[in-house]
C-alpha cells in the first residue's frame, strides 16, 4: 500500500538486523510502513578492501539500509563514514521531513546533526546489561533521552526503571499477532525435522544466547530423558560448545516467522528457560503471548514481566530450577486445556500489534503536531547542501 502523501518519513536506527528473528522492531516498522516510508538502518558490516558504501534493499514494507565499511577502521572513522553515507541517503531519497526512531543509542554518534520532526526512543531492552555492550552506551542513552520527544519501553518493569528519566515515557509491552500463532491450533502434521521426534515434546523458539539458563535445560533433560526438548532459533554470542548436548535435546536452528506455528503446533509444553541475570532483568518476552495464542501451556523462569501479569493470572507456570521445571511441565501436560486456553484467549483479546501501533502512531502525531505549532521545523537543505556527490550511496 502506498503511504499517504502527507506522511513524513521515518528513519529507524537499529542494533538488530531486519532479516534476523522477527520481533518487536519488525512488527512495529511493518505497520508504520503502511502510513509512511520507513528506512531501517542497521549497524555496519565490515569487509576487506572495500570503499564505504550503502547496501539498500527495498522490501515489501521497509527499505533496509546497511553500511558496508572497510575492515580495520577505528571507531571515529567508522562514525565519520556512517555520517557521510547516511547524509547521502537523505539526499538520494529526498528525505526532508522525517521522524527519527532509535533502538540503539549508539547511532546518535552519527545522526546528532540531523533536524527531525521528532525523535522516538523505543527502549525495548536494557542493552547495557547485554554481553558485549559498548562502554559508552549509558552516556549515549542519557543524551538520547534528553533529545527524545517520545520514549517507549518494551515492558512495564523497564518503564518503572526509566520513568523518572523522561518527561513523555510510555510502556508498550510485547504484543502478538493472534491469528498468525492461532494457526498452531489447527495445523496437522509436523515440519520434516520435527516429525520423527517422539513425544512428549517441550519446545522453545527464539534467540539462544547469554539469556538462556543452559544448566536448567541440561538438568531437565537429565531428570526426564523420556522428554524431548526442542530448541528452535539461532545461537548467538555464545559458543556452541557451551550448549548442553544430550540425546533428548534437539537444536533445529533458525526458522522463519511464518514457520513458527508449524513447530509449536507439535509441542506439548512451551518453554521460557531464561537465566536470571543482568541481560534478562527487564525483558518482556514476545514469545509469552505468542505461545498463548498458539494454545500451548507455558512454563517460564521468574522473569518480572512474565510473573506480572501472566503468572499472577495463572496463564504461565513459574519455576526456577530443573526440578521445578519438571514438576511444572508435568502439571501443564495434565491440566484442563480448554479452560486454560479460554483464559488465555480472554487476556489476548486486549492486545495486538495493530492496536499497539495505532496507539504509538497517535503519540508520534501528538509530538510532531506540538513541534509544528511551537516552531517551524528546520529545513534540511543546509545539511544536504554539504553532502558532495562523492558520498552518494550505491545499491548492490
Task: Say which residue the cell 562502554 belongs to.
Answer: 135
The per-residue pLDDT for 372 is 54
Check residue 213 and give its pLDDT.
Answer: 97
CA distance 272 to 260: 15
The closest of 74, 12, 89, 87 to 43, measured between CA atoms, is 12
CA-to-CA distance for 121 and 140, rounded, in angstroms? 12
Name residue, grid cell 496507539. 359
Separation between Cα atoms, residue 294 and residue 59, nearest integer Å: 28
Cell numbers linked to 239: 559458543
Full set of structural domains in the chain with CATH: 9-175+352-388 (3.40.50.2000), 178-348 (3.40.50.2000)
Contacts of 259 (CB under 8 A, 6+ apart): 191
317 - beta bridge partners?
A: 299
CB distance 200 to 229 below 8 Å: no
Residues linked to residue 159 through DSSP beta bridges, in sequence order? none
Contact 104, 121 (CB under 8 A): no
Residues comprising the chain, all counted? 396
Rg for the chain (alpha carbons), in Å?
22
Q: How far is CA 23 from CA 71, 211, 281, 351, 360, in A?
A: 29, 16, 19, 16, 17
Q: Where are the alpha helices (DSSP H) in 122-196?
A: 137-147, 156-162, 178-182, 192-195
Within 13 Å, how many C-alpha atoms sit on residue 131's CB side?
A: 10
User: Which residues are CB-neighbours of 248 under 8 A, at least 6 positions away?
Assistant: 221, 224, 225, 226, 227, 228, 229
Predicted pLDDT of residue 8: 92
pLDDT tens sequence for the chain (396 residues): 444 444 799 999 999 999 999 999 999 999 999 999 999 999 999 999 999 999 999 999 999 999 999 999 999 999 999 999 999 999 999 999 999 999 999 999 999 999 999 999 999 988 877 777 788 898 999 999 999 999 999 999 999 999 999 999 999 998 999 999 999 999 989 999 999 999 999 999 999 999 999 999 999 999 999 999 999 999 998 998 999 999 999 999 999 999 999 999 999 999 999 999 988 999 999 999 999 999 999 999 999 999 999 999 999 999 999 999 999 999 999 998 999 999 999 999 999 999 999 999 999 999 998 765 554 434 334 333 333 333 333 333
Cell numbers linked to 3: 503511504
Which letter does DSSP use for residue 307 in this model? Answer: I
**232 near 255, Cβ under 8 Å?**
yes
Question: How many DSSP H helices and E strands does the chain contain?
Answer: 14, 15
Listed in sequence order, the residues at least 6 apart from 269 whose beta carbon sits closer than 8 Å to its beta carbon are 200, 201, 202, 203, 296, 297, 298, 299, 329, 332, 333
pTM here is 0.89
pLDDT at position 363 is: 97
CA distance 249 to 246: 5
Cis ω before 45 (30° cut-off from 0): no
Amino acid at each position: 500500500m502506498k503511504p499517504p502523501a502527507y506522511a513524513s518519513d521515518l528513519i529507524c536506527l537499529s542494533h538488530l538486523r531486519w532479516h534476523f528473528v522477527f520481533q518487536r522492531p519488525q512488527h512495529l516498522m511493518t505497520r508504520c510502513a503502511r502510513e509512511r516510508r520507513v528506512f531501517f538502518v542497521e549497524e555496519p558490516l565490515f569487509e576487506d578492501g572495500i570503499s564505504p558504501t550503502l547496501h539498500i534493499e527495498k522490501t515489501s514494507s521497509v527499505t533496509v539500509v546497511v553500511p558496508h565499511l572497510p575492515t580495520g577502521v577505528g571507531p571515529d572513522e567508522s562514525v565519520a563514514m556512517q555520517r557521510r553515507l547516511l547524509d547521502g541517503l537523505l539526499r538520494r531519497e529526498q528525505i526532508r521531513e522525517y521522524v527519527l526512531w532509535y533502538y540503539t543509542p549508539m547511532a546518535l554518534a552519527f545522526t546528532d546533526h540531523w533536524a527531525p520532526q521528532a525523535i522516538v526512543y523505543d527502549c525495548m531492552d536494557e542493552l547495557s546489561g547485554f554481553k558485549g555492550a559498548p562502554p559508552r552506551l549509558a552516556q549515549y542513552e542519557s543524551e538520547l533521552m534528553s533529545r527524545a520527544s517520545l520514549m517507549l519501553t518494551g515492558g512495564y518493569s523497564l518503564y518503572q526503571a526509566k520513568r523518572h528519566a523522561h518527561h513523555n515515557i510510555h510502556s508498550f509491552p510485547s504484543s502478538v499477532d493472534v491469528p498468525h500463532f492461532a494457526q498452531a491450533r489447527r495445523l496437522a502434521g509436523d515440519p520434516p525435522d520435527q516429525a520423527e521426534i517422539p513425544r512428549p515434546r517441550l519446545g522453545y523458539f527464539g534467540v539462544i544466547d547469554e539469556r538462556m539458563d543452559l544448566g536448567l535445560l541440561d538438568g531437565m533433560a537429565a531428570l526426564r530423558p523420556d522428554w524431548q526438548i526442542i530448541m528452535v532459533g539461532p545461537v548467538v554470542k555464545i559458543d556452541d560448545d557451551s550448549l548442553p548436548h544430550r540425546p533428548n535435546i534437539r537444536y533445529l536452528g533458525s526458522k522463519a516467522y511464518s514457520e513458527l506455528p508449524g513447530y509449536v503446533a507439535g509441542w506439548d509444553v512451551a518453554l521460557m528457560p531464561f537465566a536470571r541475570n543482568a541481560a534478562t532483568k527487564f525483558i518482556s518476552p514476545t514469545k509469552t503471548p505468542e505461545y498463548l495464542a498458539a494454545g500451548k501451556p507455558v512454563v517460564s523462569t521468574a522473569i518480572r514481566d512474565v510473573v506480572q501479569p501472566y503468572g499472577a493470572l495463572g496463564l504461565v507456570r513459574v519455576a526456577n530450577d530443573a526440578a521445578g521445571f519438571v514438576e511444572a511441565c508435568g502439571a501443564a501436560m495434565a491440566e484442563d486445556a480448554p479452560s486454560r486456553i479460554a483464559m488465555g484467549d480472554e487476556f489476548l483479546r486486549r492486545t495486538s500489534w495493530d492496536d499497539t501501533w495505532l496507539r504509538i502512531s497517535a503519540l508520534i502525531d501528538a509530538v510532531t503536531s506540538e513541534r509544528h505549532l511551537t516552531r517551524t521545523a528546520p529545513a534540511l537543505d543546509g545539511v544536504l547542501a554539504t553532502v558532495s556527490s562523492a558520498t552518494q550511496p550505491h545499491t548492490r
